[in-house]
A and B are shown apart, each in its own frame.
Chain A
Amino acid sequence: MCGSEHTISPSLVTLSSKAKSADLPTAAICTPLSVQSMPPNTHFKKNRLLASLPTTEWKRWSASLESVEMPLGHVLYEPGVALNYVYFPLTSIVSLLYVMENGASAEIAVVGNEGIVGVSLFMGGESTPSRAVVQSAGLGCRLKAQLMKDEFNKAGPVLHLLLRYTQALITQMSQTAVCNRHHSLDQQLCRWLLLSLDRLEGDELVMTQELIANMLGVRREGVTEGALGLQKLGLIKYARGHITVLDRPGLEKRTCECYAVVKREYDRLLPSGISA
């Protein structure tokens, strides 16, 4: 957890001040997440991994899952810091970032309601290699790290589910590397928008260009130019930190194949959307 004992990197300070200028929630960048006791836990099943748990497992888990609000920019993990919880995004999106010595970062994967944040935990790691930051505000829930480990060690259907998720995540990471190497900023931007959109309920993202630039590891001017281009083509609308996707098929046409490769693997390996 991100407590006061951890230093905030310069990039995150920028992130928070940027959020403020765009009238976005600035609270809790580095304060404990507020834990909600209400509403009843069936909404946890908005997370597809949780939704696909067998009844026995679901009963056992649902008693221990805690609902949490995930405000934009909140840091769930810093690299190398012990993991206390694993997180299941419900309506939020979490970005896994690789942080360099100089503070620059690049996104290596996004996790939304199809996944879990903290896979390192059940592979023998006590901490994660990356920073996990809330990229799109919303709800999530969390489970104590020890409980997660116990569940994983019980083997059975949970183990299988989590392993498959890990493989899907590996594909996303590899494809991110490929995309970083070979594709234009414009294509990457489209990929990033589509991956985010798949993890949201509506067609609107609350997001500053600065944040996108941080995620993609590029300069802000590049993102501005790319976003303007997409807007001119009528694919998106961008106004004061809100991006609305107007023409999804248009974006799919414009992006590189990385999006399709990742989507296909996620569809193949993970349970399909099951509503509670």
Chain B
Amino acid sequence: MPSVTNNLIDTLPRTARNRLLSICEPVDLVSGHLVSGSDSLTRHVYFPTGSILSLTTSSKDTPVLEVGMVGNEGMLGLQVVLAVGSVPLQASVQGTGTAWRVATEPFNRELAGSRALQQNLNCYLQVTLLQLSSEARCVRFHQINQRLARWLLMTHDRTHADSFNVTQALIAHLLGVRRVGIAKAAGALQRKGMISYARGMLTILDRKALELETCSCYETALKTYARFMA
């Protein structure tokens, strides 16, 4: 059984929640695993409980960029809610952990009959749109140290632990920057005592300082989520 719950499920009224959970299966997701390929048919939606999923663009000539991070606040597979079978985005596991998984067909049946689920997912869709527009702005205007701090805070929020496994190469890949850039920015955060990093294990030491270091995009995202999902 997943140890942490998912907010989109938790906030459903009891009957709707139980009905949804009855079609969910618990799965263990392992970091680095590809959940769905770009343009491939969406077979499942995921409600992460302890895991973190990462949505990245994947086109042949362009380096990757992470455009969405889904933890236990969200759901992977919003295109299903939009009645679209596939998207040109790739989903992979960024943080090892558990999730609830539902096949597309039973999920659609449940969605059609559950006003509460529709409402929750509409709000989440709205949050996602906001995050996406904020992302386009952030990559244009904000410095790498701010973006790194935001990424660390977002990961921290979804990991439910102060330490997590991550390589600088992965962060560079997801943020669409060169590895030396991340090494430099991470080094600076480490010197300021905000994080420590050793043998692939990153520890958040001073969250408050990271919140001051990052751009306003982080706080905006939190507020947006609180406003829509309240």
Contacts and interface: CB of A to CB of B under 8 A. Distances in A.
Interface stretch (A98-106, A136-144, A193-201, A202-210): A98-106
B135 interface: yes
A259 B224 CA distance: 29
Contacts of B87: 167, 170-171
Interface stretch (A50-58, A85-93, A123-131, A221-229): A123-131
A101 B128 CA distance: 21
Contacts, number: 117
Interface residues of B, number: 38
B62 A183 contact: yes
Contacts of A256: 61-62
Contacts of B134: 98, 129
Nearest to A122: B122
B216 A101 contact: yes
Interface stretch (A15-23, A27-35, A39-47, A174-182): A174-182
Contact of B135 (A160, A166, A177): A177
Contact of B84 (A125, A177, A258, A269): A269
Interface string A136-169: 0000000000000000000000001001101101
Q: Is the interface of A mostly helix, strand, loop or mixed?
A: helix
Contact of B57 (A124, A160, A178, A269): A178
A100 B133 CA distance: 11
Question: Interface size for chain A: under 10, 10 to 19, 20 to 34, or 35 or more residues?
Answer: 35 or more
Contacts of B137: 98, 100, 106, 108, 217
Interface of B: 57, 59-63, 65, 67, 78-79, 81-84, 87-89, 119, 122-123, 125-126, 128-130, 132-137, 139-141, 176, 216, 224, 228
Q: Which 6 A-B pairs have the closest CB atoms?
A: A177-B136, A163-B82, A98-B137, A173-B132, A123-B126, A181-B139
Interface of A: 96, 98, 100-101, 104, 106, 108-109, 119-120, 122-125, 129-130, 160, 163-164, 166-167, 169-171, 173-178, 180-183, 217, 256-258, 261, 264-265, 269
